[in-house]
Chain A
């Protein structure tokens, strides 16, 4: 079983839709959860960073972590064409480990 699983998509939605992106993981030691956005031919850009279980909201973006289910989500409200990108989940255990495990990314297209 892979440590982190992420549906690669592609996912295509109309402008204004609510987008849900998800990752599952198998390592119960993971405590820190991140979402990165990567535009074509650019570096990953940190969107959301959460610790342990719970929700975090930042503008149109909401990150949810359910450690009991080993499941994390990123919701995008009122999606815009500028949100078209690949979204990567990533997670780490902390505790002195420099290992950061990435999902393979979900490619999202928001159509005007």
Chain B
């Protein structure tokens, strides 16, 4: 029962470096999401996907790119990391999306520090 798995769990980057966070889900969910959680800001949606091969912007998409080449995987990329991207990143998935009245299930988080 892995559910939603994120890798890596912790990462320190230097400003300007690039990296990719990987999210994998084994529940055959159609929808996947990337959120960031910051103190005093709550959880904010970065990007989401409504199915394999699709992506869409959320509330705070700038500085991030995503890809969903396989149904079970959703990748979040930082092309040129900035200190403002220091945060905890959560991946989530949903059977058929919030728009259909479903809820979402979160992974354990990835702690990213940009110095």
Q: Is chain B a partner of chain A in the same complex?
A: yes
Instruction: Tell whether, in the assembled complex, residue A100 and residue B45 are in contact, meaning their CB atoms are under 8 Å apart.
Output: yes
Number of interface residues of B (CB under 8 A): 27
Q: In the bound complex, what is the Cα–Cα distance between A31 and B102 (angstroms)?
A: 11
Instruction: Tell whether, in the assembled complex, residue B100 and residue A94 are in contact, meaning their CB atoms are under 8 Å apart.
Output: yes
CB contacts between A and B, total, < 8 Å: 61
Instruction: Tell whether, in the assembled complex, residue A103 and residue B42 are in contact, meaning their CB atoms are under 8 Å apart.
Output: yes
- B42 CB contact (under 8 Å) in A31, A46, A105: A105
Residue of A nearest to B99 (CB): A96
Tell me if A43 is interfacial: C-beta within 8 Å of chain B.
Answer: yes
Tell me if B48 is interfacial: C-beta within 8 Å of chain A.
Answer: yes
Residue of B nearest to A98 (CB): B98
Q: In the bound complex, what is the Cα–Cα distance between A42 and B111 (angstroms)?
A: 10
- A43 CB contact (under 8 Å) in B40, B58, B90: B90
Tell me if B34 is interfacial: C-beta within 8 Å of chain A.
Answer: no
Contacts of B42 in A (CB 8 A): 88, 102-105
Q: In the bound complex, what is the Cα–Cα distance between A111 and B44 (angstroms)?
A: 31
Instruction: Tell whether, in the assembled complex, residue B98 and residue A32 are in contact, meaning their CB atoms are under 8 Å apart.
Output: yes
Tell me if A99 is interfacial: C-beta within 8 Å of chain B.
Answer: yes
Tell me if A76 is interfacial: C-beta within 8 Å of chain B.
Answer: no
Q: Give the distance to chain A from B92, nearest Cβ to Cβ, in Å.
A: 8
Tell me if B106 is interfacial: C-beta within 8 Å of chain A.
Answer: yes
Instruction: Tell whether, in the assembled complex, residue A43 and residue B106 are in contact, meaning their CB atoms are under 8 Å apart.
Output: yes
Residues facing A in B24-68 (CB within 8 A) are 31, 33, 40-43, 45, 48, 50, 56, 58-59
- B positions within 8 Å CB-CB of A: 4, 31, 33, 40-43, 45, 48, 50, 56, 58-59, 90, 97-101, 103-109, 111
- A positions within 8 Å CB-CB of B: 31-32, 34, 36, 41-46, 49, 51, 88, 90, 92, 94-100, 102-105
